[in-house]
Structure 1
Amino acid sequence: MARLMAIDFGTKRTGIAITDELQIIASGLTTIPTKDLLSFLKTYTSEENVELFIVGEPKQMNFELSESEVSIAKFLEKLNKAIPHIPVKRVDERFTSKMAFQTMIDSGLKKNKRKNKALVDEISATIILQSYLYNQQ
């Protein structure tokens, strides 16, 4: 089997999470500057077998797409051109940042580490991926 990769896209930085090859465990991989995202994904997918990209879909409380969806749609067009052999699925990402922050509190991280927005993005990507895995069962 191949890995699944979740992308928590942001205009400044993007959180990345990945599964093991058996697609059982979701783990945070990294957070990278969004300007370097396509380059990172090309390199990673040339070295690792990735079957699917799972990209967060930001929705408002009334289920309408948020304004950040415009940036994500542009990125997805570029991603499809750069890596056309890997399909993309979207997952509702409402509350993932709040859940990530709460996870940091629950795991006992000190206040100064909880201010690390890159870590929040990586954990958010992991939550998106775990949500996808859970809903596939």
Structure 2
Amino acid sequence: MFAAAVLRYLHSLGIVTYGVAGADAFLNALPDKPVEAVAAYGRPGGAETDGGHGYDEPAAQFIVRGDHKTPAGRRAGYARAVAIRDALHGLAGVTIAPGTDDETYVVQCLATQSEPTDLGGDPDGRPRWSVPVRAEVYRPTALRP
């Protein structure tokens, strides 16, 4: 799964903690705790792909939540959203999440916005930002070499 592969990649860079005790990044969910957290959601990708080649165009959206109690906490959430965008925009020619069920060869990944979008506060007033990305990945099959 592309979104999970990207979370594993961001974990390897130290931007999020995913798949281990004390995680602050989650797949398809943004739990109430920890306060500062990241959620990754798979989204519809590009147009229908050609059945004759092994390339797909998945997309993902990352929601980053910060701490609303201090200006520094709010700023740290935004900075983390920027770090996610910067780590993914232009990523190309690399296998992410190697050796896992989520292993993915990224031909190219692009952020679809020039900076994180402020989504406003959650019901508890904690700030949130959105970072959407789209990618081209190589996923060959017997029918799509």
- TM-score, normalised with respect to structure 2: 0.28
Q: Which structure dedicates a bigger proportion of its chain to strand? A: 2
Structure with higher RCO (Cα < 8 A, 6+ apart) = 1
Of structures 1 and 2, the larger Rg is shown by 2
Q: Which structure dedicates a bigger proportion of its chain to helix? A: 1
